[in-house]
Structure 1
Amino acid sequence: MMSIIKNNTWCKFNSVIKRTKALMMITISCLPAQVLGQSYRVTGDIKGLKDHTKFFLIRSKNGNADTVKTVISNKGRFIFQGKLNDEGELYFIKLDTSSFAIASNKDSWIRLFLENKIIEIKGDANSWPDVKVEGSESTMLLEVLEKKVKLFDEQLKAANNLKDSIGRTAIIELYKKFLDSIVDKNQDLNASASILFFFKRGQLSEEEQFGIYERLSKNVRNSFYAKKWMEEILTSKKRDKLKKGAMLPDFRFKVENGETESIMSVIKQSKFTLIDFWASWCAPCISEWPNLENIYASHNRENFNIIGISVMDEEVRWKQAIVKNKTAWRQGHDWDDSVAKLFNFNSLPAYLLVDQNGRLIAYESTLSGVASFGERIRGENLIHTLNKLIPLKNK
């Protein structure tokens, strides 16, 4: 995060955040009828395409490919249609190579920004994925951006190899001016919002990102990547407040029966609560449980409790893990990744100790977006920390 921001810009930035938060609370029922009726229709007209060839509409979800729709070609055509709540997300259309072989040196997919409009894909099956996309200006802008970014990366790499700091600075400034010109000329295209997500390259300060966001049209600010950027900014500001003595922001977790509960409803039941952040794929996490079992058993629930929160984990695997490795304390699942985003975990396990009011006492993690603070609370160190907080006679 940038260390210094001019006061007037900062006030303006906070104002935008407040307006955006209010906008995101508006329900879909408040939208006008013509907006509710919008939908997308992606038509592929591909010469030489065999009938019954499968095509998949795919989006990236938590780093994994999520197939949204599957269609089958007929008479050289395929059609995807539906309705989007958030427009302007980058999707992939993949040809099933098991039913139509393509050259091994070619990709089986194309990319496009999906919007509630008519988009046409034209070409020849033998040339896939070299096709023409019509009706999506954002997709065409993406190609321009990527070519320029590739050139920028090559120039920057050369400057770094030569240890040319002056040249490196000049290249970065030219790149920033290029991004500014793209946004100024394409304020109404959703691809411009993707700059905040894909093309920052670690070179744009928060203030510069905000400058780009401010110049986007109202509709584009409400697009997928603009919302995602704002969500990350808000989460980052919450993360910056996670320090000793601060209050834990309330969050909800899913329990085994599928319902969700508030973390504060658990915390308020005991004087001190340890939140154990873990995942089914994390062997060190589960190997700590026997030690936690002993500590948990040696305290009454009025004084000390544990709640396990599985993060960055599939729900099925989480459920399998808690059946296989039963614990005396309750377990929950970070079903919407809000906890993982808040703490920005890069390794597990991680532990957070809070008091009955949700005040942060200690946090320990090898690597995350929140720096460790307070006493050590992993392994045997947890016993020593609790002994300082809970008199022996009150255990």
Structure 2
Amino acid sequence: MKITQLVIILILGIGITSANGQKKETYIVSGKIEGTPDGTVVYLIHDNNGHVDSMATKIQNEKFVFKGKVEVPGQLYFVKMDTSTVKFKDGIDSYTTIMLDNSDISIKGQLSSWPDVKIDGSPSTSVYWDFYKRIVIEPRDKYRKIFEEKSNDSLAMHKAEREYRDFLINYLNTHPDIYFSPFLINSSQLMSIAEKKDAFKNLPVNSQNSYYGIQLKNNIATKALGLTVSIGKLLPDFSVNDLDGKPVKVRTLIKQAKYTLIDFWAWWCTPCRADIPNMKKVYNAFHDNGFNILSISTDTNVEKWKKAIKEENTPWMHAMDYSRANKLIFDITAIPGYILVNEKGEMIAFDMPTGSRGKNRTGKGLRVDLYEVIDGLLGNKDGSK
């Protein structure tokens, strides 16, 4: 058996075994970074499709240790130095990347050369860095020179982007067994939905069923829903998490009223919170006549989200956008963003900044003229028009 095949098998699910042949069920990430002051905080960070989880520990005698268990091995994690304690020159990353699996992983190096470190014990990390070098670093350096020299030549820039896109697709098609492929396909901004769908079909079944393979499949399906977003069409029935953390379909929530304003917002968004007094005015005037509001948080910090809801004392429905529908389906580029739907789930008005797919995404001024819009649909709260 070739060494490359053996490495792929290890990565794709057979897993790492201990010296006695037993499969390890936990991981130990140990580091020794020479020159790092005692007390420096180190983080082990995982970005789960926009929801960030992290662990922290402190360096003692230039050493640190993380212990735990991953249910689905082969996910990207970042080992990050706290920059409030140690400072790096501009352009130097404060983190290095590992593909975490249930194995003993060793990270060794010097603070002066961080994040250039030696990582042992994780075959998936070795493959990741080799793949990253071939598919990202080397092509990036090649095309960066072209971009710098031809920055004022739009045709040359477009040609360079097209060449890299073709190189990327060809590499993925000829190296479908690389474990990191689904992640790269998913994160590519140069590939269309159709191209990503074709690339996914070309992956072996074990890659399709891997952590990033499942994520890629779900995101392709979600983005495809975005192609149906226009006035008069049914709202894509995406899932959100309610205040108790339970998933619920959006169309189930909007059936509770004749008209529902879907409000994409976040606790830190100043203009979002500035709109709330006007939303309360409209809600109080027309709620008894069949108007409701569903505020969907685009930020996944549960504690700060609930704190903001309590501070604003909003009486309507709230949910959290863990699926990133605001980006993947509606292509929203800034918040607040508003969609007005009827009880059938039909989209009847938009008011939200969108990206390149933004056809039919603007219309009635829901932010400024919300009262007038709802008044025209439902009349005053005494029932008169």
**Fold conserved between structures, TM > 0.5:** yes
- Equivalent-residue separation in structure 2 for 1:174 and 1:354 (angstroms): 43
Partner of 1:284: 271
Contact 2:289-2:378 at 8 Å conserved across structures: no
Partner of 1:350: 337
TM-aligned CA deviation for residue 332 of structure 1:
0.6
Change (3 A) 1:181 1:390: closer
Amino acid at match of 2:153: K
Q: What SS is found at the alignment partner of 1:344?
A: coil
- Counterpart pick for 1:146 among 129, 136, 153: 136
Tell me, yes or no, if structure 1 residue 110 matches structure 2 residue 96. yes
Q: What SS is found at the alignment partner of 1:149?
A: helix
TM-score using structure 2 length: 0.74
Partner of 1:363: 350
Contact 1:243-1:373 at 8 Å conserved across structures: yes
Partner of 1:330: 316
Amino acid at match of 2:279: L
Q: What SS is found at the alignment partner of 1:90?
A: strand
- Equivalent-residue separation in structure 1 for 2:379 and 2:63 (angstroms): 74
Change (3 A) 1:323 1:153: same
**Deviation string, structure 1 residues 118-145 (Cα, Å, up to 9, x no partner):** 5444556765443323432222222333
Partner of 1:218: 205
Partner of 2:374: 386
Partner of 1:376: 364
5+ long unaligned stretches in structure 1? 1-30
- Equivalent-residue separation in structure 1 for 2:255 and 2:184 (angstroms): 43
Percent of counterpart pairs with the same letter? 27
Amino acid at match of 1:213: F
Amino acid at match of 2:319: H
Partner of 2:74: 88
Tell me, yes or no, if structure 1 residue 130 matches structure 2 residue 130. no
5+ long unaligned stretches in structure 2? 1-12
TM-score using structure 1 length: 0.72
**Deviation string, structure 1 residues 55-84 (Cα, Å, up to 9, x no partner):** 43222357686424647668x875545443
Q: What SS is found at the alignment partner of 2:144?
A: helix
Partner of 2:217: 230
**Deviation string, structure 1 residues 18-59 (Cα, Å, up to 9, x no partner):** xxxxxxxxxxxxx99999966464554748688987643222
Amino acid at match of 1:381: D
Contact 1:59-1:68 at 8 Å conserved across structures: no
Amino acid at match of 2:370: L
Q: CA RMSD in A?
A: 4.1
TM-aligned CA deviation for residue 157 of structure 1:
0.5
- Equivalent-residue separation in structure 1 for 2:367 and 2:87 (angstroms): 55
| 77-86 or 315-324, which deviates more | 77-86
Contact 2:352-2:361 at 8 Å conserved across structures: no
Partner of 1:314: 301
The correspondence of residues 161-176 of structure 1 with structure 2, limited to 5 A, is 161=151, 163=153, 165=155, 167-168=156-157, 171-172=160-161, 174-176=163-165
Number of equivalences: 359
Q: What SS is found at the alignment partner of 2:150?
A: helix
Partner of 1:196: 185
Change (3 A) 1:306 1:34: same
- Equivalent-residue separation in structure 2 for 1:366 and 1:53 (angstroms): 41
- Equivalent-residue separation in structure 1 for 2:196 and 2:260 (angstroms): 38
Change (3 A) 1:233 1:107: closer
Partner of 1:246: 233
TM-aligned CA deviation for residue 382 of structure 1:
2.8
TM-aligned CA deviation for residue 290 of structure 1:
2.9
